[in-house]
Chain A
Protein backbone atom coordinates (compact mmCIF):
# COMPACT_ATOMS: atom_id res chain seq x y z
CA UNK A 1 0.00 0.00 0.00
CA UNK A 2 1.35 3.44 -0.87
CA UNK A 3 1.92 5.83 2.03
CA UNK A 4 -1.08 8.02 2.66
CA UNK A 5 -0.51 11.53 3.94
CA UNK A 6 -3.15 13.66 5.56
CA UNK A 7 -4.58 16.07 3.00
CA UNK A 8 -3.45 19.02 5.08
CA UNK A 9 0.21 17.92 4.86
CA UNK A 10 0.19 18.11 1.05
CA UNK A 11 1.05 21.01 -1.23
CA UNK A 12 -0.95 20.49 -4.43
CA UNK A 13 0.93 20.57 -7.75
CA UNK A 14 -1.36 21.33 -10.69
CA UNK A 15 -0.89 22.10 -14.39
CA UNK A 16 -0.53 25.85 -14.04
CA UNK A 17 -0.39 26.49 -10.31
CA UNK A 18 0.30 25.12 -6.86
CA UNK A 19 -2.18 25.04 -3.99
CA UNK A 20 -2.23 24.92 -0.17
CA UNK A 21 1.26 26.36 0.11
CA UNK A 22 1.08 27.58 3.71
CA UNK A 23 0.97 25.42 6.79
CA UNK A 24 -2.23 25.48 8.84
CA UNK A 25 -1.13 23.80 12.06
CA UNK A 26 -1.89 26.76 14.31
CA UNK A 27 -4.27 26.87 17.27
CA UNK A 28 -7.80 27.82 16.24
CA UNK A 29 -7.61 26.56 12.66
CA UNK A 30 -9.18 23.13 13.21
CA UNK A 31 -12.15 22.86 15.61
CA UNK A 32 -11.46 20.56 18.54
CA UNK A 33 -7.72 20.40 17.88
CA UNK A 34 -5.10 22.08 20.00
CA UNK A 35 -2.05 22.45 17.74
CA UNK A 36 -0.33 24.79 20.19
CA UNK A 37 3.36 24.22 20.93
CA UNK A 38 4.00 20.88 22.58
CA UNK A 39 7.48 19.39 22.85
CA UNK A 40 6.14 15.86 23.32
CA UNK A 41 4.12 16.13 20.10
CA UNK A 42 7.20 17.37 18.28
CA UNK A 43 9.26 14.45 19.57
CA UNK A 44 6.52 12.05 18.47
CA UNK A 45 6.31 13.44 14.95
CA UNK A 46 9.94 14.39 14.31
CA UNK A 47 12.12 12.14 12.18
CA UNK A 48 15.68 12.87 11.11
CA UNK A 49 17.21 10.18 8.92
CA UNK A 50 20.58 10.25 7.18
CA UNK A 51 20.23 8.64 3.74
CA UNK A 52 23.60 8.96 1.99
CA UNK A 53 27.04 10.10 3.05
CA UNK A 54 30.29 10.57 1.13
CA UNK A 55 33.57 12.41 1.84
CA UNK A 56 32.08 15.58 0.37
CA UNK A 57 28.31 15.47 0.70
CA UNK A 58 25.38 14.25 2.76
CA UNK A 59 21.68 13.62 2.07
CA UNK A 60 19.24 13.47 4.95
CA UNK A 61 15.51 13.73 5.63
CA UNK A 62 14.11 16.19 8.14
CA UNK A 63 10.44 15.38 8.76
CA UNK A 64 7.94 17.08 11.06
CA UNK A 65 9.09 20.70 11.30
CA UNK A 66 7.83 23.85 9.58
CA UNK A 67 9.57 25.36 6.56
CA UNK A 68 10.57 28.28 8.79
CA UNK A 69 12.77 25.96 10.85
CA UNK A 70 14.25 24.01 7.92
CA UNK A 71 14.93 27.27 6.08
CA UNK A 72 16.65 28.83 9.10
CA UNK A 73 19.13 25.93 9.24
CA UNK A 74 19.70 26.10 5.47
CA UNK A 75 20.33 29.85 5.55
CA UNK A 76 22.69 29.55 8.53
CA UNK A 77 24.73 26.86 6.79
CA UNK A 78 25.26 29.20 3.85
CA UNK A 79 25.74 32.53 5.60
CA UNK A 80 26.62 32.12 9.26
CA UNK A 81 28.74 29.02 9.88
CA UNK A 82 32.28 30.46 10.02
CA UNK A 83 35.30 29.50 7.90
CA UNK A 84 38.76 30.94 7.30
CA UNK A 85 39.65 32.66 4.01
CA UNK A 86 42.28 35.06 2.68
CA UNK A 87 41.24 38.62 3.51
CA UNK A 88 44.39 40.67 2.82
CA UNK A 89 46.84 40.28 -0.05
CA UNK A 90 50.11 42.25 0.03
CA UNK A 91 51.53 42.30 -3.48
CA UNK A 92 55.28 42.83 -3.70
CA UNK A 93 55.49 41.76 -7.31
CA UNK A 94 52.99 40.72 -9.97
CA UNK A 95 53.69 41.31 -13.66
CA UNK A 96 51.36 38.61 -14.94
CA UNK A 97 48.37 39.46 -17.16
CA UNK A 98 46.02 39.10 -14.15
CA UNK A 99 45.90 42.47 -12.40
CA UNK A 100 46.51 42.65 -8.63
CA UNK A 101 42.91 43.21 -7.54
CA UNK A 102 41.50 40.43 -9.70
CA UNK A 103 44.18 38.01 -8.54
CA UNK A 104 43.57 39.01 -4.90
CA UNK A 105 39.86 38.30 -5.36
CA UNK A 106 40.57 34.88 -6.85
CA UNK A 107 42.90 34.01 -3.96
CA UNK A 108 40.21 35.03 -1.46
CA UNK A 109 37.81 32.48 -2.95
CA UNK A 110 40.18 29.52 -2.40
CA UNK A 111 38.72 27.20 0.30
CA UNK A 112 41.20 26.54 3.12
CA UNK A 113 41.40 23.48 5.41
CA UNK A 114 41.76 25.54 8.61
CA UNK A 115 39.46 24.59 11.51
CA UNK A 116 37.70 27.88 12.44
CA UNK A 117 37.12 26.65 16.01
CA UNK A 118 40.80 27.19 16.88
CA UNK A 119 40.81 30.77 15.53
CA UNK A 120 39.67 33.98 17.19
CA UNK A 121 37.66 36.65 15.38
CA UNK A 122 39.78 39.53 14.14
CA UNK A 123 38.23 42.63 15.73
CA UNK A 124 38.16 45.88 13.78
CA UNK A 125 41.51 47.23 12.61
CA UNK A 126 43.46 45.64 15.46
CA UNK A 127 46.93 44.42 14.49
CA UNK A 128 46.99 40.74 13.46
CA UNK A 129 48.03 38.12 16.01
CA UNK A 130 48.88 34.42 15.78
CA UNK A 131 45.40 33.67 17.20
CA UNK A 132 43.39 35.44 14.47
CA UNK A 133 45.52 35.52 11.31
CA UNK A 134 47.19 32.85 9.19
CA UNK A 135 49.98 33.91 6.84
CA UNK A 136 50.80 32.38 3.46
CA UNK A 137 53.54 33.33 1.02
CA UNK A 138 53.60 32.97 -2.73
CA UNK A 139 56.89 33.33 -4.56
CA UNK A 140 56.82 32.12 -8.15
CA UNK A 141 58.89 32.93 -11.22
CA UNK A 142 58.26 31.41 -14.62
CA UNK A 143 61.33 30.35 -16.64
CA UNK A 144 62.02 28.42 -19.82
CA UNK A 145 62.66 24.70 -19.45
CA UNK A 146 65.98 24.29 -21.23
CA UNK A 147 65.54 20.53 -21.47
CA UNK A 148 62.12 20.69 -23.16
CA UNK A 149 61.65 18.22 -26.04
CA UNK A 150 62.29 19.85 -29.40
CA UNK A 151 59.16 21.01 -31.21
CA UNK A 152 56.91 20.69 -28.13
CA UNK A 153 53.96 23.08 -27.80
CA UNK A 154 52.94 21.89 -24.35
CA UNK A 155 53.42 24.73 -21.79
CA UNK A 156 54.05 22.16 -19.02
CA UNK A 157 57.08 20.94 -20.98
CA UNK A 158 58.22 24.31 -22.34
CA UNK A 159 58.14 26.29 -19.09
CA UNK A 160 58.76 25.88 -15.39
CA UNK A 161 56.15 27.43 -13.05
CA UNK A 162 53.78 28.44 -15.85
CA UNK A 163 50.76 28.19 -13.53
CA UNK A 164 50.05 29.72 -10.12
CA UNK A 165 48.12 26.94 -8.35
CA UNK A 166 46.43 26.94 -4.95
CA UNK A 167 49.17 24.50 -3.86
CA UNK A 168 51.72 27.32 -4.27
CA UNK A 169 50.29 29.08 -1.21
CA UNK A 170 52.87 28.13 1.42
CA UNK A 171 51.98 28.52 5.06
CA UNK A 172 54.28 30.60 7.26
CA UNK A 173 53.73 29.62 10.92
CA UNK A 174 53.70 32.54 13.35
CA UNK A 175 53.86 32.46 17.18
CA UNK A 176 52.20 29.34 18.59
CA UNK A 177 50.74 28.28 15.24
CA UNK A 178 53.42 25.65 14.55
CA UNK A 179 52.13 23.72 17.59
CA UNK A 180 48.41 24.41 17.14
CA UNK A 181 48.37 23.33 13.49
CA UNK A 182 50.99 20.56 13.80
CA UNK A 183 48.44 17.86 12.92
CA UNK A 184 46.94 19.72 9.96
CA UNK A 185 49.11 22.42 8.39
CA UNK A 186 47.00 25.19 6.81
CA UNK A 187 46.63 24.85 3.03
CA UNK A 188 44.04 25.01 0.27
CA UNK A 189 41.57 22.12 0.59
CA UNK A 190 41.84 21.67 -3.19
CA UNK A 191 45.44 21.84 -4.39
CA UNK A 192 44.75 22.11 -8.12
CA UNK A 193 42.98 25.44 -8.49
CA UNK A 194 44.63 27.53 -11.24
CA UNK A 195 44.82 31.13 -9.98
CA UNK A 196 46.96 32.68 -12.72
CA UNK A 197 49.01 31.69 -15.76
CA UNK A 198 52.59 32.84 -16.26
CA UNK A 199 55.11 33.06 -19.09
CA UNK A 200 58.92 33.32 -18.88
CA UNK A 201 59.97 36.57 -17.20
CA UNK A 202 56.76 36.93 -15.22
CA UNK A 203 56.68 36.44 -11.47
CA UNK A 204 54.38 36.68 -8.47
CA UNK A 205 55.54 37.54 -4.95
CA UNK A 206 52.82 38.07 -2.34
CA UNK A 207 51.93 37.71 1.31
CA UNK A 208 48.40 36.51 2.12
CA UNK A 209 46.59 36.99 5.43
CA UNK A 210 43.65 34.67 6.15
CA UNK A 211 41.05 35.43 8.85
CA UNK A 212 37.85 33.90 10.24
CA UNK A 213 34.59 35.17 8.73
CA UNK A 214 31.01 34.30 7.73
CA UNK A 215 29.24 34.00 4.39
CA UNK A 216 26.94 36.96 4.99
CA UNK A 217 30.04 39.18 5.02
CA UNK A 218 31.51 37.66 1.83
CA UNK A 219 30.63 34.51 -0.13
CA UNK A 220 34.24 33.31 0.14
CA UNK A 221 33.51 32.41 3.80
CA UNK A 222 30.58 30.17 2.81
CA UNK A 223 31.46 26.64 4.07
CA UNK A 224 29.13 24.77 1.69
CA UNK A 225 29.27 24.28 -2.06
CA UNK A 226 25.47 23.91 -1.88
CA UNK A 227 23.02 23.52 0.98
CA UNK A 228 19.46 23.00 -0.22
CA UNK A 229 16.29 21.11 0.46
CA UNK A 230 13.24 20.07 -1.54
CA UNK A 231 9.91 18.63 -0.45
CA UNK A 232 9.16 14.94 -0.86
CA UNK A 233 7.12 14.35 -4.04
CA UNK A 234 3.85 12.49 -3.60
CA UNK A 235 2.01 10.80 -6.47
CA UNK A 236 -1.48 9.40 -6.06
CA UNK A 237 -2.90 7.31 -8.87
CA UNK A 238 -6.67 7.80 -8.60
CA UNK A 239 -7.85 5.67 -11.55
CA UNK A 240 -6.29 2.50 -12.94
CA UNK A 241 -4.04 3.11 -15.94
CA UNK A 242 -4.93 0.83 -18.91
CA UNK A 243 -2.23 -1.78 -19.58
CA UNK A 244 -1.53 -0.46 -23.07
CA UNK A 245 -0.69 3.00 -21.64
CA UNK A 246 1.50 1.70 -18.77
CA UNK A 247 4.88 2.34 -20.43
CA UNK A 248 3.88 5.80 -21.60
CA UNK A 249 2.57 6.66 -18.13
CA UNK A 250 5.83 5.55 -16.48
CA UNK A 251 7.83 7.68 -18.93
CA UNK A 252 6.05 10.80 -17.64
CA UNK A 253 8.03 10.44 -14.39
CA UNK A 254 11.69 10.20 -13.50
CA UNK A 255 13.23 6.72 -14.06
CA UNK A 256 12.32 4.22 -11.33
CA UNK A 257 9.45 6.22 -9.87
CA UNK A 258 6.64 4.16 -11.48
CA UNK A 259 6.66 0.37 -11.24
CA UNK A 260 4.94 -1.78 -13.87
CA UNK A 261 3.91 -5.27 -12.88
CA UNK A 262 5.55 -7.57 -15.48
CA UNK A 263 2.48 -9.83 -15.69
CA UNK A 264 -0.57 -7.63 -15.26
CA UNK A 265 1.01 -4.36 -16.52
CA UNK A 266 -0.59 -2.63 -13.53
CA UNK A 267 1.23 0.59 -12.58
CA UNK A 268 2.10 1.68 -9.04
CA UNK A 269 4.32 4.22 -7.33
CA UNK A 270 7.68 2.95 -6.03
CA UNK A 271 7.76 4.16 -2.42
CA UNK A 272 11.57 4.08 -2.20
CA UNK A 273 12.12 5.87 -5.50
CA UNK A 274 9.34 8.46 -5.38
CA UNK A 275 11.84 10.94 -3.93
CA UNK A 276 13.75 10.81 -7.21
CA UNK A 277 10.84 12.31 -9.12
CA UNK A 278 11.46 15.76 -10.58
CA UNK A 279 7.72 16.60 -10.40
CA UNK A 280 7.94 17.75 -14.01
CA UNK A 281 4.11 17.68 -14.39
CA UNK A 282 4.60 15.98 -17.78
CA UNK A 283 1.81 13.52 -16.88
CA UNK A 284 -0.69 16.40 -16.73
CA UNK A 285 -0.02 17.26 -20.39
CA UNK A 286 -1.55 13.96 -21.49
CA UNK A 287 -5.37 14.22 -21.61
CA UNK A 288 -5.80 10.47 -21.00
CA UNK A 289 -3.76 10.65 -17.75
CA UNK A 290 -4.76 14.09 -16.50
CA UNK A 291 -7.70 12.85 -14.41
CA UNK A 292 -6.01 9.67 -13.22
CA UNK A 293 -3.31 11.15 -11.04
CA UNK A 294 -2.86 13.74 -8.28
CA UNK A 295 0.58 15.32 -7.87
CA UNK A 296 1.70 16.96 -4.64
CA UNK A 297 4.59 17.46 -2.26
CA UNK A 298 4.65 16.78 1.49
CA UNK A 299 4.89 20.17 3.21
CA UNK A 300 6.91 19.11 6.26
CA UNK A 301 9.11 16.44 4.60
CA UNK A 302 12.44 18.06 3.75
CA UNK A 303 15.06 16.26 1.67
CA UNK A 304 18.30 18.04 2.48
CA UNK A 305 21.40 17.87 0.29
CA UNK A 306 24.58 19.47 1.61
CA UNK A 307 27.95 19.57 -0.16
CA UNK A 308 30.90 20.63 1.95
CA UNK A 309 33.87 22.56 0.63
CA UNK A 310 36.55 23.45 3.13
CA UNK A 311 37.28 22.43 6.70
CA UNK A 312 33.98 20.77 7.74
CA UNK A 313 33.16 17.13 7.14
CA UNK A 314 29.75 17.13 5.39
CA UNK A 315 27.97 15.51 8.36
CA UNK A 316 29.29 18.31 10.67
CA UNK A 317 27.61 21.18 8.83
CA UNK A 318 24.05 20.62 9.99
CA UNK A 319 25.03 20.41 13.72
CA UNK A 320 27.15 23.54 13.25
CA UNK A 321 24.12 25.39 11.90
CA UNK A 322 22.05 24.27 14.90
CA UNK A 323 24.85 25.48 17.18
CA UNK A 324 24.79 28.93 15.55
CA UNK A 325 20.98 29.02 15.80
CA UNK A 326 21.09 28.17 19.51
CA UNK A 327 23.74 30.84 20.11
CA UNK A 328 21.43 33.39 18.48
CA UNK A 329 18.55 32.24 20.69
CA UNK A 330 20.70 32.44 23.85
CA UNK A 331 21.78 36.01 23.03
CA UNK A 332 18.20 37.12 22.27
CA UNK A 333 16.94 35.45 25.44
CA UNK A 334 19.52 37.18 27.62
CA UNK A 335 18.56 40.53 26.08
CA UNK A 336 14.83 39.87 26.57
CA UNK A 337 15.39 38.85 30.20
CA UNK A 338 17.37 42.04 30.81
CA UNK A 339 14.39 43.98 29.45
CA UNK A 340 12.04 42.06 31.73
CA UNK A 341 14.27 42.83 34.73
CA UNK A 342 14.20 46.52 33.87
CA UNK A 343 10.45 46.37 33.46
CA UNK A 344 9.92 44.71 36.84
CA UNK A 345 11.15 47.75 38.73
CA UNK A 346 14.89 47.23 38.67
CA UNK A 347 15.27 49.89 36.02
CA UNK A 348 13.42 53.10 35.18
CA UNK A 349 10.10 51.27 35.02
CA UNK A 350 9.77 50.92 31.27
CA UNK A 351 11.30 48.90 28.48
CA UNK A 352 13.57 50.95 26.31
CA UNK A 353 11.64 52.59 23.51
CA UNK A 354 13.25 53.33 20.19
CA UNK A 355 14.02 56.99 19.33
Chain B
Protein backbone atom coordinates (compact mmCIF):
# COMPACT_ATOMS: atom_id res chain seq x y z
CA UNK B 1 0.00 0.00 0.00
CA UNK B 2 1.41 3.38 -1.01
CA UNK B 3 1.96 6.17 1.49
CA UNK B 4 -0.65 8.92 1.05
CA UNK B 5 -0.13 12.53 2.15
CA UNK B 6 -2.50 13.32 5.00
CA UNK B 7 -5.09 15.92 3.98
CA UNK B 8 -4.68 17.89 7.21
CA UNK B 9 -1.55 18.07 9.35
CA UNK B 10 -1.14 19.88 12.65
CA UNK B 11 2.21 21.67 12.55
CA UNK B 12 4.62 21.72 15.52
CA UNK B 13 4.01 24.52 17.98
CA UNK B 14 0.35 23.73 18.70
CA UNK B 15 -0.76 23.98 22.32
CA UNK B 16 -1.41 20.56 23.95
CA UNK B 17 -5.14 21.25 24.41
CA UNK B 18 -5.36 22.39 20.73
CA UNK B 19 -6.63 25.82 21.76
CA UNK B 20 -4.15 27.20 19.22
CA UNK B 21 -2.65 25.41 16.21
CA UNK B 22 -1.45 25.86 12.64
CA UNK B 23 -3.09 23.48 10.16
CA UNK B 24 -1.51 22.48 6.87
CA UNK B 25 -4.12 21.43 4.32
CA UNK B 26 -2.74 19.47 1.38
CA UNK B 27 -3.82 20.14 -2.22
CA UNK B 28 -5.88 23.21 -1.44
CA UNK B 29 -5.35 26.88 -2.32
CA UNK B 30 -6.68 30.35 -1.56
CA UNK B 31 -10.01 29.19 -2.98
CA UNK B 32 -10.87 27.01 -0.03
CA UNK B 33 -8.45 28.75 2.32
CA UNK B 34 -9.90 32.22 2.12
CA UNK B 35 -13.48 30.89 2.26
CA UNK B 36 -12.57 28.84 5.32
CA UNK B 37 -10.85 31.78 6.98
CA UNK B 38 -13.93 33.91 6.41
CA UNK B 39 -16.40 31.35 7.77
CA UNK B 40 -14.16 30.75 10.79
CA UNK B 41 -14.19 34.46 11.55
CA UNK B 42 -18.01 34.45 11.34
CA UNK B 43 -18.50 31.90 14.09
CA UNK B 44 -15.65 31.27 16.39
CA UNK B 45 -14.82 33.49 19.31
CA UNK B 46 -11.19 34.46 19.00
CA UNK B 47 -9.09 36.57 21.32
CA UNK B 48 -8.11 40.11 20.44
CA UNK B 49 -4.57 39.83 21.71
CA UNK B 50 -1.69 42.25 21.36
CA UNK B 51 0.39 39.87 19.23
CA UNK B 52 0.59 38.76 15.60
CA UNK B 53 1.74 35.51 14.02
CA UNK B 54 3.76 35.61 10.80
CA UNK B 55 4.58 32.47 8.86
CA UNK B 56 7.43 32.71 6.36
CA UNK B 57 8.04 29.80 4.03
CA UNK B 58 11.18 29.71 1.85
CA UNK B 59 12.47 27.54 -1.01
CA UNK B 60 15.61 25.37 -0.89
CA UNK B 61 16.15 25.51 2.85
CA UNK B 62 16.89 29.25 2.83
CA UNK B 63 16.56 30.71 6.35
CA UNK B 64 13.19 32.32 7.00
CA UNK B 65 14.77 34.20 9.89
CA UNK B 66 17.29 35.85 7.56
CA UNK B 67 14.41 36.70 5.21
CA UNK B 68 12.64 38.40 8.13
CA UNK B 69 15.72 40.41 9.08
CA UNK B 70 16.26 41.38 5.44
CA UNK B 71 12.61 42.48 5.14
CA UNK B 72 12.91 44.63 8.27
CA UNK B 73 16.02 46.27 6.80
CA UNK B 74 14.24 47.01 3.53
CA UNK B 75 11.19 48.39 5.33
CA UNK B 76 13.44 50.69 7.35
CA UNK B 77 15.12 51.99 4.19
CA UNK B 78 11.67 52.61 2.68
CA UNK B 79 10.64 54.64 5.76
CA UNK B 80 13.88 56.62 5.59
CA UNK B 81 13.34 57.39 1.91
CA UNK B 82 9.73 58.51 2.45
CA UNK B 83 10.82 60.75 5.33
CA UNK B 84 13.64 62.32 3.30
CA UNK B 85 11.31 63.10 0.42
CA UNK B 86 8.68 64.57 2.75
CA UNK B 87 11.23 66.84 4.46
CA UNK B 88 12.62 67.87 1.03
CA UNK B 89 9.13 68.88 -0.06
CA UNK B 90 8.59 70.87 3.16
CA UNK B 91 11.93 72.67 2.70
CA UNK B 92 11.14 73.56 -0.90
CA UNK B 93 8.14 75.54 0.40
CA UNK B 94 6.46 75.10 -2.95
CA UNK B 95 3.00 74.81 -1.44
CA UNK B 96 -0.02 76.90 -0.51
CA UNK B 97 0.06 78.45 2.96
CA UNK B 98 -3.31 79.40 4.35
CA UNK B 99 -4.71 80.85 7.54
CA UNK B 100 -7.04 78.43 9.29
CA UNK B 101 -9.49 80.18 11.56
CA UNK B 102 -10.81 78.52 14.69
User: Across the interface, which residues of A come within 8 angstroms of B87, CB to CB?
Assistant: 319
User: Across the interface, which residues of B come within 8 angstroms of A49, CB to CB?
Assistant: 89, 95
Q: Is the interface of B mostly helix, strand, loop or mixed?
A: helix
Given contacts A42-B78, A336-B65, contact A53 B95 (CB under 8 A): yes
Interface string of B58-73 (1 = CB under 8 A from A): 0000010110110011
User: Across the interface, which residues of A come within 8 angstroms of B13, CB to CB?
Assistant: 353-355
Interface string of B30-73 (1 = CB under 8 A from A): 00000000000000000000000000000000010110110011
Interface string of A319-350 (1 = CB under 8 A from B): 10010011001101100110110010000000
At the interface, yes or no: A219 with Cβ under 8 Å from chain B?
A: no
> For this complex, into which size category does the number of interface residues on chain B fall?
35 or more
Closest chain B residue to A326, Cβ basis: B79
Q: How far is the CA of A47 from the CA of B85 in the complex (A)?
A: 7
Given contacts A39-B74, A319-B87, A322-B82, contact A55 B99 (CB under 8 A): yes
Q: How far is the CA of A253 from the CA of B16 in the complex (A)?
A: 60
Cβ distance A73 to chain B, nearest Cβ, rounded Å = 8
Can you sample 27 A-B contacts with CB below 8 Å? A43-B81, A48-B85, A48-B89, A49-B95, A50-B90, A52-B95, A52-B98, A53-B97, A53-B98, A54-B100, A55-B99, A55-B100, A65-B82, A315-B90, A319-B86, A329-B79, A330-B76, A332-B72, A333-B73, A333-B76, A336-B65, A336-B68, A340-B69, A353-B12, A353-B13, A355-B15, A355-B16
Chain B positions near chain A (C-beta within 8 angstroms): 12-13, 15-16, 63, 65-66, 68-69, 72-83, 85-90, 94-100, 102
Inter-chain pairs besides A56-B100, A65-B78, 8 sampled, C-beta below 8 Å: A39-B81, A52-B96, A55-B99, A69-B82, A322-B82, A329-B76, A336-B68, A354-B13
Chain A positions near chain B (C-beta within 8 angstroms): 37, 39, 42-43, 46-57, 60, 62, 65, 69, 73, 190, 315, 318-319, 322, 325-326, 329-330, 332-333, 336-337, 339-340, 343, 351, 353-355
